[in-house]
């Protein structure tokens, strides 16, 4: 599989690294373009791939053309590639908020996969939700699935609306988790624990809880009840969450992210 990466940022590099590590392609079959020459030089040294400052030149080499650019650069890049892609080339876009219709019109191209990855993909533990146009072949769907599995888990959806919903949950979700962990560390320090000890306790608690969920096969509500003894410390803590309307606040946050995702795609 020949791959062309338009943009060499963190997520693009994560995908590049995963593809090479899993043997889905070789350095000789990969080209990368980026406006930042230092970034190009770094990627060439680190991964032995061909680099260029020309998006058109990079795109010519790929069976799969990965759009890994910032949303504010999309219009300029689409203008460069407008009408330049072969009908047989697959465009795989990880550009936040960019709808398939926008990409198709801007590139004059119909074979498109749109993906919403998240930051843990950078360590192979990501969650990517994706959809494809009718022009994407079974072979190309297989390529897209394999690329995304190399970065973690992937989930195909047949309705693009789910991409914005996924953006609000798994795309933005790591930030929600980080905020809760940060708050829990600060709370631990507030009752007297040294910060390094508090951080270790929180990190392992979150990690262990996630693994427990995966291995137990039980519903989250059931696991919560298992940990909560009537009249105990956990029950007292959860009561404070309820008083602060924690669950409703999470719903409001996710809804706000979803509304913003829809707005950015207009």
pLDDT band at 75; cut points 50, 70, 90: very high
pLDDT band at 35; cut points 50, 70, 90: confident
Q: Could you read off the pLDDT of 79-138 as tens digits, one per residue?
A: 999 989 999 999 999 998 899 999 999 999 999 999 999 999 989 999 999 999 999 999
Tell me how far apart the alpha carbons of residues 188 and 225 are, in angstroms, rounded to a whole number.
Answer: 23
Tell me how far apart the alpha carbons of residues 161 and 25 are, in angstroms, rounded to a whole number.
Answer: 31
Q: Could you read off the pLDDT of 138-174 as tens digits, one per residue?
A: 999 999 999 999 999 999 999 999 999 999 999 999 9
Residue 266 has pLDDT above 80, yes or no: no
Strands, E, within 118-235: which ranges?
Answer: 126-132, 152-156
pLDDT over 90 percentage in the chain: 89
- In this prediction the pTM is 0.89
Q: Could you read off the pLDDT of 215-243 as tens digits, one per residue?
A: 999 999 999 999 999 999 999 999 999 99
Query: Which domains does the chain possess?
Result: 3-160 (3.40.50.720), 173-264 (1.10.3730.10)
Give phi and psi for 151, each to the nearest 5.
-105, 5
How is residue 132 written in tokens? 């494809």
- Specify the higher pLDDT residue, 136 or 7: 136
Tell me how far apart the alpha carbons of residues 224 and 237 are, in angstroms, rounded to a whole number.
Answer: 12
CA dihedral 8, 14, 15, 18 (to 10 degrees): 140
């Amino acid at each position: 599989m020949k791959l062309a990466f338009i943009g060499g940022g963190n997520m693009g590099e994560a995908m590049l690294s995963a593809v090479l590590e899993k043997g889905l392609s070789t350095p000789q079959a990969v080209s990368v373009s980026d406006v930042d020459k230092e970034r190009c030089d770094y990627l060439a040294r680190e991964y032995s791939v061909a680099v260029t400052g020309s998006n058109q030149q990079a795109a010519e080499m790929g069976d799969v053309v990965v759009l890994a650019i910032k949303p504010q650069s999309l219009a300029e890049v689409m203008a460069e590639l407008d009408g330049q892609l072969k009908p047989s080339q697959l465009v795989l876009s990880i550009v936040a908020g960019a709808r398939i219709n926008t990409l198709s019109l801007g590139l004059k191209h119909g074979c498109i996969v749109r993906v919403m990855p998240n930051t843990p993909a950078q360590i192979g533990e990501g969650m990517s939700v994706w959809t494809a146009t009718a022009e994407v072949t079974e072979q190309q769907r297989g390529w897209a699935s394999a690329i995304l599995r190399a970065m973690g888990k992937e989930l195909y959806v047949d309705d693009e609306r789910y991409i914005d919903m996924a953006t609000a949950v798994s795309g933005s979700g790591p930030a929600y988790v980080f905020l809760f962990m940060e708050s829990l560390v600060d709370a631990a320090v507030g009752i007297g624990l040294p910060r390094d000890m508090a951080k270790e306790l929180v990190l392992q608690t979150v990690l262990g809880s996630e693994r427990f969920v995966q291995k137990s096969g039980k519903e989250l509500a059931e696991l919560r009840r298992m940990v909560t003894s009537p009249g105990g410390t956990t029950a007292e803590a959860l009561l404070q969450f309820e008083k602060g309307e924690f669950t409703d606040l999470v719903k409001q946050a996710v809804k706000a992210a979803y509304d913003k995702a829809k707005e950015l795609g207009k």
